[in-house]
């Protein structure tokens, strides 16, 4: 009765799947997952798939991780949830303390939500409201970077520059200023990545000048714009951005929802440029990929701008599950693994293994822009045939499944964003199978 095909049919009948043209499931298979162990997902026929994209960039230490499972089982018997207005609890306190310490207390105040887009909404609203509380009511506009992705709720979509996601909703959105991308792939003959970054920073400065006194904040995905196709930039852009924000009295919002939690090589991506933003958004990996959790960290200056006897000067934003104890406990278990296993050092070694395995791609005429930042690897396939170019991603996904891989290229950008627990053998297997799939799709 409950065969794999039954589950698929029932899902297609009643579950509206995210980020999907449902009709494509007439040809692209839907995979009913039964369980996960480590880096592997198993379907209902016992077929396995190496989760090379960490289940949409959230899973850091594998599925059914024993340490996170144990922490959650313990928490479940203590407290599953309590409202965070007027009440508090150990997991949310300890998590906030640990995260603040990781920023050397530069960002010492944590505000919680449940998903990435909500964290972005919070950062935008907090910036706007903070200026307003200080009497700077003209600062109402936001700047985002070409190709940016900050989530798909209406406020977050307004600072997102991926046309596929925003096209249909244009009239609903409060348009932000979009400035030049520092994407290193835009280097012209003789230009370095740093040159591209500084050229893009000059465009940002032009808008800051033109709109002086009107801009509340600039929002950026530090080092890697993931959703637009793993566009990477030189850290000099972040240093220049910090200088410009100081000079023009504008907040800097770092959306580290994808690149935070060690993904870019340092725990926070901003650390690699030795800067701190005014707001830092975290989600995805922070709970180890277990439970919906997001948060915005901010400075004492921002916090103090809300601290007052007047209720209306407070930040009156909430979500039902704000600071959920189970999610916070999963996050604490995740941070404990970072500390106990010296994960950042381990990842440097693993990242080098990937770099070595993919080195031949640098000389492959079918490939451009082989790139890497920490535990993110990407390259662009050159597909001349227009029709094949459009279907590249779907064909790659299907061919990857045949090789026991879960991979979803973004356009023609093939990428890996694997969980950090891969063994050396799994890294070798993943690299070898990725190449095999690529050969098949390009044939």
Annotated binding site: 56, 116-117, 149, 255, 284, 318-320, 408
Q: Kindly state whether residue 38 participates in binding ligand PLP, applying the rule CB under 6 A.
A: no
Considering only 96, 103, 283, 372, the residue that binds ligand PLP (CB under 6 A) is 283
Instruction: Compute the 3-state secondary structure of the chain and give helix, strand, coil in percent, each to the nearest 5.
Output: 45, 15, 40
Pick between residue 151 and residue 289 the one whose CB is nearest to ligand PLP.
151
Considering only 139, 150, 166, 329, the residue that binds ligand PLP (CB under 6 A) is 150
And the tokens for 39?
């880096």
Q: Kindly state whether residue 258 participates in binding ligand PLP, applying the rule CB under 6 A.
A: yes
Strand order in the sheet with 279-282: 109-113, 294-298, 279-282, 251-255, 215-220, 141-145, 177-179
Pick between residue 133 and residue 225 the one whose CB is nearest to ligand PLP.
225
Considering only 122, 184, 204, 226, the residue that binds ligand PLP (CB under 6 A) is 226
Q: Which is it for strands 109-113 and 294-298: parallel, antiparallel or unpaired?
A: antiparallel
Pick between residue 41 and residue 226 the one whose CB is nearest to ligand PLP.
226
- d(Cα 406, Cα 397) in Å, to the nearest integer? 7
- Choices 28-36, 219-227, 268-276, 323-331 (CB under 6 A): range interacting with ligand PLP: 219-227
Pick between residue 173 and residue 336 the one whose CB is nearest to ligand PLP.
173
What are the Cα distances from residue 179, in Å, to 270, 311, 332?
20, 36, 37
Q: Long-range pairs for 311-320 at CB < 8 Å and ≥24 separation? A: 313/133, 315/111, 315/125, 315/126, 315/129, 317/111, 317/122, 317/125, 317/126, 318/84, 318/85, 319/112, 319/113, 319/114, 319/118
The binding site for pyridoxal 5'-phosphate comprises 116-117, 255, 319-320
What are the Cα distances from residue 390, in Å, to 402, 410, 411, 434?
21, 11, 7, 20
Q: Residue 108 CA to chain centroid, in angstroms?
A: 22
Q: Rounded to the nearest 10 degrees, how much is the dihedral formed by the CA atoms of 81, 87, 90, 91?
A: 50
How many CB atoms within 10 Å of residue 407? 26
And the tokens for 384?
């001349």
Q: Kindly state whether residue 331 participates in binding ligand PLP, applying the rule CB under 6 A.
A: no
Four-residue CA torsion sign, 294, 296, 297, 303: negative
Q: Residue 365 CA to chain centroid, in angstroms?
A: 30
Pick between residue 415 and residue 438 the one whose CB is nearest to ligand PLP.
415
Q: Kindly state whether residue 296 participates in binding ligand PLP, applying the rule CB under 6 A.
A: no
Considering only 161, 183, 255, 426, the residue that binds ligand PLP (CB under 6 A) is 255
Q: How far is the CB of 116 from ligand PLP (least distance, A)?
A: 2
Q: How far is the CB of 117 from ligand PLP (least distance, A)?
A: 3
Pick between residue 226 and residue 405 the one whose CB is nearest to ligand PLP.
226
Pick between residue 112 and residue 149 the one whose CB is nearest to ligand PLP.
149
Q: How far is the CB of 283 from ligand PLP (least distance, A)?
A: 5
Q: How far is the CB of 129 from ligand PLP (least distance, A)?
A: 20
- Choices 41-49, 220-228, 261-269, 314-322 (CB under 6 A): range interacting with ligand PLP: 220-228
Q: Kindly state whether residue 176 participates in binding ligand PLP, applying the rule CB under 6 A.
A: no
Residues 83-122 that bind ligand PLP (CB under 6 A): 115-117, 120
Listed residue (261, 262, 269) closest to 286, CA to CA: 261
Residues near ligand PLP (CB under 6 A): 115-117, 120, 149-151, 221, 226-227, 255, 257-258, 283-284
């Amino acid at each position: 009765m409950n065969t794999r095909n039954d589950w698929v049919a029932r899902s297609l009948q009643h579950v509206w799947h995210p980020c999907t043209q449902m009709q494509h499931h007439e040809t692209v298979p839907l995979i009913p997952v039964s369980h996960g162990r480590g880096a592997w997902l198993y379907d209902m026929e016992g077929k396995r798939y190496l989760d090379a994209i960490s289940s949409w960039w959230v899973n850091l230490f594998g599925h059914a991780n024993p340490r996170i499972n144990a922490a959650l089982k313990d928490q479940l018997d203590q407290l599953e949830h309590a409202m965070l207005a007027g009440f508090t609890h150990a997991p949310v306190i300890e998590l906030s303390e640990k995260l603040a310490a990781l920023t050397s207390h530069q960002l010492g105040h944590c505000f919680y939500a449940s998903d990435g887009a909500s964290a972005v909404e919070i950062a935008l609203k907090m910036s706007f409201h903070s200026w307003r509380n200080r009497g700077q009511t003209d600062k109402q506009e936001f700047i985002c970077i070409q190709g940016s992705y900050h989530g798909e709720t209406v406020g977050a979509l307004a600072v997102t520059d991926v046309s596929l996601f925003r096209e249909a909703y244009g009239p609903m959105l409060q348009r932000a200023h979009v400035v030049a991308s520092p994407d290193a792939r835009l280097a012209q003959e003789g230009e370095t990545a740093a040159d591209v970054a500084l050229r893009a920073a000059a465009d940002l400065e032009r808008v800051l000048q033109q709109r002086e006194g009107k801009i509340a904040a600039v929002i950026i995905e530090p080092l890697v714009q993931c959703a637009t196709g793993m566009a990477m930039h030189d850290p000099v852009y972040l240093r220049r951005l910090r200088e410009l924000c100081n000079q023009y009295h504008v907040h800097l919002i770092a959306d580290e929802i994808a690149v935070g939690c060690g993904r870019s090589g340092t725990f926070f991506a901003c650390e690699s440029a030795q800067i701190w933003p005014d707001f830092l958004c975290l989600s995805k990996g922070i709970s180890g990929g277990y439970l919906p959790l997001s948060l915005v960290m901010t400075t004492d200056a921002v916090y103090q701008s809300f601290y007052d006897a007047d209720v209306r000067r407070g930040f009156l934003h909430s979500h039902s599950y704000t600071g959920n104890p189970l999610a916070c406990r999963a996050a604490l278990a995740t941070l404990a693994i970072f500390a106990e296993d010296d994960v950042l050092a381990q990842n440097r070694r693993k990242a080098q293994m990937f770099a070595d395995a993919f080195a031949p791609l640098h000389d492959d005429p079918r490939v451009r822009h082989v790139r890497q930042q920490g535990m993110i690897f990407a390259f662009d396939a050159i597909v001349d045939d227009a029709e094949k170019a459009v279907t590249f991603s779907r064909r790659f996904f299907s061919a990857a499944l045949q090789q026991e891989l879960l991979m979803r290229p973004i356009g023609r950008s093939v990428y890996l964003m694997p969980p950090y627990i891969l063994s050396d053998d799994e890294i070798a297997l993943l690299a070898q199978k990725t190449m095999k799939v690529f050969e098949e799709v390009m044939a």
